[in-house]
Amino acid sequence: MLIAEDDPIFRRVLQSWLQKWNYSVTALENGLDAWQLLQQDDCPPMAILDWVMPGLDGIDVCRRIRSHQQGAYKYVLLLTSKESKEDVVAGLEAGADDYLTKPFDVNELRARVRAGKRILELQGALVKAHTELQFEAAHDHLTGLWNRGAIMDLLQRETQRTVRIGEPLGVIMADLDHFKRINDSYGHPIGDAVLREVAHRLLASVRNYDYVGRYGGEEFLIVLTACAPSDLVATAERMRAFVSEKPVDTDVGPIPVTISIGLAAQHLSGLELPKGEELVRAADSALYTAKANGRNRVECAPESIAPSPARTSVLQ
């Protein structure tokens, strides 16, 4: 809780009341100091501002708070000895949440501070719920990875960004091999556990500026940024090897897993802006080839690995 009040006696009285009610209080004597404190990230969420102060008055501080609104909401209680209606309206229009006219009853102050605290708590709960909703809207429930909509949005953004700054970009489509057999043999919950572990391994095998999403049931889309075309195959191969290196530990014992990978690289030479969906389509058809050629392998879309003349690269 912040108090800005230029009258030293009244400031001390306010401070001791609020401290008695268990609020932690920073008491300042002018509006400028208050404004400086309120700009800091960890500033108090509630401010009791005297209206008339030298330098910046309470109304000025209030206006600044509202026009620079960033971070958590700040609750402002304005103290005024002005009683006319217009002044009260001016105070509220400047962004104050509530006001008290001096001299005021100590119980009224206590009740109004409590009301402010309730509003801040509601506001905090709303922000938390909003943040959680935003996370849920962009993430897959089972694996915690980006969901299909989010990874496609990220891919679209990254294709445009990397073309603009002349960086290469690669897209990997990875699909679990014979995953249906795992479900059929051990049941869906064990299948889910395997999917979660594979998601975890894929995430662990990329750098933290790459993106891993769940594209569909047992299909993952990985967007590799700043990865030279010549490194893409090695990266994909590393992922493939990492996923299959150890069987997945489950409640029914260790289950071996392998993935097939289709890979496509953005053509930096192309004049047209590449579309995310085209890259995905190319990676998907390379994945189809990987399945047809025996699974647990990496295949590249034709012309992906420019400037190498090889059209298709097969690794095992």
Task: Give which of Mg ion, ligand GH3, none residue 237 binds (C-beta under 5 to 8 Å, depending on kind).
Answer: none
Shortest distance, position 195 Cβ to ligand GH3, whole Å: 6
Distance CA 5, CA 29 (A): 5
Task: Give which of ligand GH3, Mg ion, none residue 197 binds (C-beta under 5 to 8 Å, depending on kind).
Answer: none
Provide the token pair at 96. Answer: 């104050």
The verdict on 176 binding ligand GH3 (CB under 6 A) reads yes
Residue number with CB closer to Mg ion (55 or 119): 55
Indicate the burial class of 101 (C-beta count within 10 angstroms; 0-12, 13-18, 19 or more): middle
Residue number with CB closer to Mg ion (14 or 176): 176
Choice from 25, 52, 119, 142 touching ligand GH3 (CB under 6 A): 142
The verdict on 179 binding ligand GH3 (CB under 6 A) reads yes
Is-catalytic flag, 218? Answer: yes
Shortest distance, position 229 Cβ to Mg ion, whole Å: 26
Which amino acid, one-letter code, is at 234?
A
In 127-210, DSSP assigns E strands to: 169-176
The verdict on 238 binding ligand GH3 (CB under 6 A) reads no
**Helix pair 179-186, 188-204: axis angle to 10 deg:** 140
Which secondary-structure segment (H or E) carries 46?
A: strand 46-50
Provide the token pair at 249. Answer: 């530990």
Query: Strand 314-315 to strand 298-300: parallel, antiparallel, or no bridges (unpaired)?
Result: antiparallel
Q: Which stretch binds ligand GH3 (CB under 6 A): 70-78, 105-113, 155-163, 187-195?
A: 187-195
Q: Where are the alpha helices (DSSP H) in 187-272?
A: 188-204, 229-245
Task: Give which of ligand GH3, Mg ion, none residue 295 binds (C-beta under 5 to 8 Å, depending on kind).
Answer: ligand GH3
Shortest distance, position 271 Cβ to Mg ion, whole Å: 34
**Residue 80, beta-bridge partner list:** 101
The verdict on 144 binding ligand GH3 (CB under 6 A) reads no
Using CA atoms in the order 65, 68, 74, 75, what is the torsion angle rounded to 10 degrees? 40
Of the candidates 218, 277, 278, 303, the residue annotated as catalytic is 218
Residues forming contacts to ligand GH3 in the complex (CB under 6 A) are: 142, 175-180, 183, 188, 191-192, 195, 217-218, 291, 295
* Enzyme catalytic residues: 218
